[in-house]
């Protein structure tokens, strides 16, 4: 076992699941994801800010990421290093 990463604490949710959540459940999801990321940073993990956190900070839905090379919509929870 190595150190804890954001992938270890992320809660993946897909569009078809998101659509069934009410506004309080969506807020809870956002709060938990932001807290998970904040806790990792506070422990001294120097990680790039994951795309999902950027989206949530902007008030956007978590699956709205387009990869330039693929030009397709998909869930992209992790920002590639560099």
pTM for the model stands at: 0.68
* pLDDT tens-digit map of 36-63: 999 888 888 777 888 888 888 988 888 6
CA proximity to 29, closest of 14, 11, 43, 41: 11
* pLDDT tens-digit map of 61-79: 886 544 454 444 444 444 4
CA proximity to 6, closest of 78, 75, 73, 74: 78
């Amino acid at each position: 076992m190595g150190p804890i990463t954001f992938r270890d604490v992320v809660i993946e949710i897909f569009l078809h699941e998101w659509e069934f959540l009410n506004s309080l459940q969506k807020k809870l999801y956002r709060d938990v994801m932001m807290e998970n990321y904040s806790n990792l940073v506070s422990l001294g993990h120097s990680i790039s800010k994951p795309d999902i956190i950027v989206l949530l900070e902007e008030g956007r839905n978590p699956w709205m990421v387009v990869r330039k090379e693929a030009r397709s919509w998909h869930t992209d929870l992790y920002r590639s290093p560099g």
